[in-house]
Amino acid sequence: MLQPEGAALGAAPRVRFYPERRDRYPGWLDERGQAALGRLSRDARLFAAPATDRAGVAAVLRLGRRLAALDDAAFDAEIVETRARIRRAGPTTSALREGVALAREASARTLGLRQRSVQIRGALAMLDGRLIEMDTGEGKTITAGLAAAAAALAGTPTHVITVNNYLAERDADTLRPVYERLGLTLGVILEDMSPQDRRAAYLCDLTYGSNTEMAFDYLRDRITFGAEGPQALRQRLARVASGSRDLSEPVMRGLHFAIVDEADSVLVDEAKTPLIISKQTDAAEEAAWAGRALDLARSLEKGPHYALEADERRVRLKEAGRERLTELTEGEDGLWQSRIRREEVIQQALAALFVFKRGEHYLVADGKIEIVDEYTGRLQPDRSWSDGMHQLIEAKEEVEITPQNIAVARMTYQRLFRRYVKLAGMTGTAREVTNELWSVYGLKTSRIPPHKPSKLRYRVPRVHGSVEAKWRAVVAETRTEAARGRPVLIGTRSVSASQAVSAALSAAGFEHRVLNAETDHESAEIIAEAGQAGRITVATNMAGRGVDIALGEGVREAGGLHVILTERHDAGRIDRQLAGRAGRRGEPGTVGQHLSLADPLLDAISAPHLRVLSYLPLIGLGPRLKLFDRAQARAERIHARMRRDLVRQDRRLNSMLSFTGGLE
C-alpha cells in the first residue's frame, strides 16, 4: 500500500493510491445480533480485553528499561536505528511494541511523563484496532500519543481526530516535542486553512484535526475524484504525492489509520449529523414560504388536525388536518399546489413551533439562530438544519431569513469512519454502545482499568414532585457541600435549565459561574476555577471539553468535588460523563441526583398514566426511579433506531450519488 521515499528517513511515504476500506454496511444479521447482544450483559465478549494485552505491556516495559538506561546521545542514535528497522518491518506486532516503547521514553525525556502500564495497554489496544473505554482523567491524550507515534514510525499515515479545533491544536502542541524527538512530522488541520496548507498537513506522518474538518476534506476530495476511472485517479494521486500544488487535486492521501477521541460522541452521537456540501437558494423566496407555512400551521388545532410525537421530534398530520390544509391553500400556486409537498412543509412548521425549543435546541444570538449540541452543550454556529427547518425557526423567532443550503454532495460520519483501513478510538463512556460500535463499525471495545481504584461515591437519588421543589433541594445541597469547603458542579440538560438553577442560586445569595452555550467562550477560565474550595459551577454538559477540573488546596481533605445531576439525559452515557468529573485518578468525590416528575425526559414514556400515578404520595422512590429508567431506555432505543435508519439510507445513497463511485 505504501512505498517509502528512500531518501530522507523522516520523509513521508509515497502514496501509490488512495487507501480506504470498502463500505461495510451492517446487514440483517448484524442488526438482529446487536439487539440480541443488547439483551445480554454489556460486559461480555465485546468488552473483554484479549490475553495478549498483558504480554504486550510486559514486552514494552522490558524494552523501556533498556531505553531508560541510555544517555541522550545513545537514545537519539537508538531512535534513528529503530525507526529504520520499524519502517522496514511495517506495522507488525513486534514493530508496534518497539514503537510504543520508543515513544514512551521520548515522552519521559521531553515532557517528563512516562506512561503507566494501563496507558501502554490502552495504546496497544488502539494499535490492534479497538476502541478503549478509559476513565476521565486517566490520560487519554498521552495514551493516544503512544499509539499514534508507533503507527507513524511503522510508516502508517495517522489521523488523530478530536471533537473540535481547539482540542486538535491543543493536543498536537502538547505532544509535538515527543513527535519531533522521534523525527516524525506533525500537521494540524484548522478552519480557514488553504487547500495547499491542508495538503501539506496531510502529507505529515501524523495529522491532528476535528471530525468536522477532516470529514469535509474527504467529502471535497470525493467530489474532486468525480467519475474518473482507477488509472486516471492513480495518476492524479501520484502528482499529489510528489508535491503538486494544483487546486483541483485532493488534499488527503487516503484513510489509513484513525484514532478518534471522544469516540462515542463522534461515532454515535454525531452519526445522525449529515455532512453536506451545498449551494444556496434565494433568501426572499425562503422568507415567503416559511412565513406562510407558519401561518398555516398556527391555524391548525392539536388533536383534531395533528399529533405531537415529541420524543422523535416530529409531528404527524391527521386526515382532518390534511383536508383543512387543502381548504386553506385552495387557489395558491407554488409548493402549495402539491399535496405531498405542502403536508411535508406544514409538518416541519408544526415541529418548528412546538417541538424545537429556544434555550434547549437553539439560541438567538446577534439576530441569528445558533444550534445547541444536545450532547455537549456547545453552540454550533456553522451548522444549520436541513429541509427548510432552519428557515422555519428563523421565521418563528422573527430574525433575518437566510438562504437554504441545497445539497450538492452528502455523506455521514458513519460512512466516513467505516472507510478507514484501520479505526481505533477512546472515550470515557463506551459500555452502553458497545454492541452498536461493533455492528456499525466492526469496532471491538476494551475496558482499560484506572491506575488507582475509584473513590467516587453515588448518593441515593431523590425525585421531587415539581421543578420548583427540585431547585430548592439543589440549592440546599449546594449550601451544605460548599460550607464544607467542597467545590460543587451542578449539571443541567439545557441552557434554559442552567438559567433556572442560576436564578435559584442567585436568589439564595450564592456566587457562582455558569457554563453553557452562551458562555462557551469562557469555558477554559470557568473550568480552571471549578475545583477551588467552595466554588459553585453550573454547566449544561462537560462532554468533550477536554479540560480536567483540578482540585484546589484542601479540597481533597474536604471530600473532593461534589457533582449534582439535575436531569437525566436521553443517553445514560452523558450522565456518566458528567458524574465522572468527580473522583478522578483515585481522588475522593460524590455524586447526588435530584429529579423532578415534570422533567422533559418523562415525555418519552409511552404510558402517560404511569407518570400521573407517580405523583401519588404512596408511590416510593423505587417505582419513580424506574419511571426515569424506562423513559431513558426508550429514548436510547429511539436514537439507536434512527441511527440504524441512517445506515440504511446511506446504503441507498451510495448506489445513487455519482461522487461515491469509481474508487471501489
For 441-467, write each residue's pLDDT tens digit. 989 999 999 988 889 999 999 999 889
Specify the 3-state DSSP secondary structure of 339: helix
- Residue 274 parent element (H or E): strand 274-280
Distance CA 483, CA 475 (A): 12
Asked if the model's pLDDT at residue 525 lies above 60, the reply is yes
Quick one: DSSP state of residue 302?
Answer: B
Contact by Cβ (8 Å): 298, 346: no
Assigned fold of 20-272+413-448 = Rossmann fold (3.40.50)
CATH superfamily ID and name for 282-403:
SecA, preprotein cross-linking domain (3.90.1440.10)
**Is 3 annotated as belonging to a binding site?**
no
The average confidence (pLDDT) of the chain is 84
Amino acid 22: pLDDT: 74
Distance CA 596, CA 162 (A): 35
Asked if the model's pLDDT at residue 42 lies above 50, the reply is no
pLDDT digits (tens, 9 = 90+) for 67-124: 999 999 999 999 999 999 999 999 999 999 999 999 999 999 999 999 999 999 999 9
* Distances 223 to 12, 411, 419, 470 between C-alpha atoms, Å: 25, 11, 16, 52
**Residue 608's pLDDT band (boundaries 50, 70, 90)?**
low
Q: Mean pLDDT throughout 274-295?
A: 87
**Is 119 annotated as belonging to a binding site?**
yes
Find where cell 401519588 sits: 616
| Amino acid letter for position 538 | V
Contact by Cβ (8 Å): 429, 102: no
Amino acid 14: pLDDT: 42
Give span(s): CATH 3.90.1440.10, the chain: 282-403
Secondary structure of 356-412 in HEC code, one letter for each residue:
CCECCCEEEECCEEEEECCCCCCEECCCCCCCCHHHHHHHHHCCCCCCCEEEEEEEE
| Amino acid letter for position 581 | R
Amino acid 1: pLDDT: 32
The 10 Å Cβ neighbour count of residue 316 is 12
The 10 Å Cβ neighbour count of residue 524 is 13
Dig out the grid coordinates for 400 from the structure.
433575518
Contact by Cβ (8 Å): 531, 550: yes
Find where cell 514486552 sits: 59
Share of the chain above pLDDT 70, in %: 82
Distance CA 132, CA 125 (A): 7
Contact by Cβ (8 Å): 425, 129: no
Amino acid 641: pLDDT: 86
**Is 137 annotated as belonging to a binding site?**
yes
Count the residues in the chain. 664
Asked if the model's pLDDT at residue 506 lies above 80, the reply is yes
| Amino acid letter for position 79 | I
CATH superfamily ID and name for 455-598:
P-loop containing nucleotide triphosphate hydrolases (3.40.50.300)
**Residue 533's pLDDT band (boundaries 50, 70, 90)?**
very high
Quick one: DSSP state of residue 298?
Answer: H
Amino acid 417: pLDDT: 93
Find where cell 404512596 sits: 618
pLDDT digits (tens, 9 = 90+) for 425-440: 999 888 889 989 998 8
Share of the chain above pLDDT 90, in %: 54
Distance CA 12, CA 8 (A): 9
Give span(s): CATH 3.40.50.300, the chain: 20-272+413-448, 455-598
Find where cell 483541483 sits: 248
Distance CA 211, CA 168 (A): 10
Distance CA 602, CA 631 (A): 6
Q: Mean pLDDT throughout 529-537?
A: 94
Asked if the model's pLDDT at residue 652 lies above 70, the reply is no
Report the DSSP beta bridge partners of residue 261.
426
Contact by Cβ (8 Å): 147, 201: no
Amino acid 193: pLDDT: 94
Distance CA 138, CA 19 (A): 33
- Residue 233 parent element (H or E): helix 230-241
Amino acid 7: pLDDT: 34
pLDDT digits (tens, 9 = 90+) for 363-392: 998 899 999 877 667 788 778 888 889 999
Look at 106 and 631; give whichever has higher pLDDT: 106
pLDDT digits (tens, 9 = 90+) for 210-233: 999 999 999 888 877 654 444 445
Distance CA 406, CA 108 (A): 51
Distance CA 650, CA 647 (A): 5
Asked if the model's pLDDT at residue 660 lies above 50, the reply is no
**Is 499 annotated as belonging to a binding site?**
no
Amino acid 188: pLDDT: 98
Amino acid 248: pLDDT: 60
Look at 620 and 343; give whichever has higher pLDDT: 343
Q: State whether the Cα torsion 496-502-504-507 is positive or negative.
A: negative
**Is 217 annotated as belonging to a binding site?**
no
Amino acid 584: pLDDT: 86
Q: State whether the Cα torsion 600-606-608-609 is positive or negative.
A: negative
**Dihedrals phi, psi of 2, to nearest 5 degrees:** -120, 145
Contact by Cβ (8 Å): 170, 188: no
**Is 544 annotated as belonging to a binding site?**
no
Specify the 3-state DSSP secondary structure of 40: coil
Contact by Cβ (8 Å): 429, 573: yes
Which of 38, 37, 53 has its CA nearest to residue 449?
53
**Is 156 annotated as belonging to a binding site?**
no
Dig out the grid coordinates for 177 from the structure.
516535542
Which of 518, 469, 425, 488 has its CA nearest to residue 133?
425
Distance CA 547, CA 142 (A): 14
Secondary structure of 409-427 in HEC code, one letter for each residue:
EEEEHHHHHHCCCEEEEEE
Specify the 3-state DSSP secondary structure of 125: helix
Amino acid 610: pLDDT: 63
Contact by Cβ (8 Å): 294, 395: yes
Quick one: DSSP state of residue 16?
Answer: S
